[in-house]
Amino acid sequence: MIYQKLGETGCKVSRVGLGTWAMGGDFWGSVTEQQAIATVRSALDRGINLVDTAPAYGKGRAERLVGRAIQGRRDEVVLATKIGLVWEGGMRHCLAPETLAGQLEASLMRLQVETVDLLQIHWPDPQTPLEDTLTELERLQRAGKFRYLGVSNFDLPLLQEALSKGSVVSVQNEYSLLCRAPEALMPLCEREGVTLMGYGSLAGGMLTGKYRGMPEERYDRRVKFYPYFKQPHLGRALRTVEALEKAARERGVLPAQMAIAWTLAHQHTVALAGAKTPEQVRSNAKAAELTLSAAEMDGLISFPDE
């Protein structure tokens, strides 16, 4: 595994991280507790030390499973979770300062830890001034509840605002061959020493080559988040998959590994790749050491929609 600094801190994170949304069991089809725990532990065995979760993943289920999986191995983990999505008859954004301590304490209890390494604002809350949120989070940070602060799903102006008002070490946005919007953030991230964590590096599994349309499992709802499984985006996605499969055959690797390696070719970038089995996480880990040529990089650039 290859590691890099988290922002400008002394903390080193694996360039491939484990995303745990699938372990929530509410969006990605079924996954047993045994599978989820084995997957987290397999990631640690492979040198993946960045484990990213959130209260919103299965209404806390993913956090609970991660907490169980890392028992006895806490010192091997850079543990990242999020704040700002609450379930009250439905999921809503809430970064009101008076709610943050309670949200974070609930996560710490589910994770069975006293502090998390990276706490991230999950989504912006347009009803709450960002400065108010950051002020309260700084208080919680000083109290030892978390080590570093990150943001997620922030556009360029909001990231600039966050950096002007607080110490932010990372930004986590969707980034893959099918979603390149975060490239607009890269110059700022490089100047300010902010790590870009790209989630969805496999575009919800589309870039593995496994799918040619909608997932068949009854309880798989990833299509509600990722648009690539149906038109008008499916055609572009499938052309990208075909290019990945061709390039992967030529290199003797898997399409998923090529897709992850493509995101890692960009400086200051970490790829968060979800997994539901130890086999998947072992495959994803290998992508960290795969270097693509300029020609391969260019050949995999997303095709335009028809």
Please identify every residue annotated as catalytic: 57
β partners of residue 170: 150, 195
In which element (H, E) is residue 199 found?
strand 195-199
Encoded tokens for 143:
């109290």
Residue 142's Cα: distance from chain center in Å?
25
Backbone φ, ψ for residue 232 (5° rounding):
-90, 5
Spatial distance between the Cα atoms of 38 and 248, rounded to a whole number of angstroms: 28
DSSP 23-64: GGSSSB----HHHHHHHHHHHHHTT--EEE--TTTTTTHHHH
**Integer Cα distance of 230 and 285 in angstroms:** 29
Element (H, E) at 93: strand 91-93
| Cβ–Cβ under 8 Å, residues 177 and 204 | no
> Nearest Cα to 289, choosing from 264, 269, 252, 259?
264
Greatest distance between any 2 Cα atoms in the chain: 55
Identify the residue whose tokens are 């130890």: 278
Q: Is 67 helix (H, G, I), strand (E, B) or coil?
A: helix
Please state the φ and ψ torsions of residue 277, each to the nearest 5 degrees.
Answer: -140, 155
Q: Rounded distance, CA 97 to CA 129, Å?
A: 10
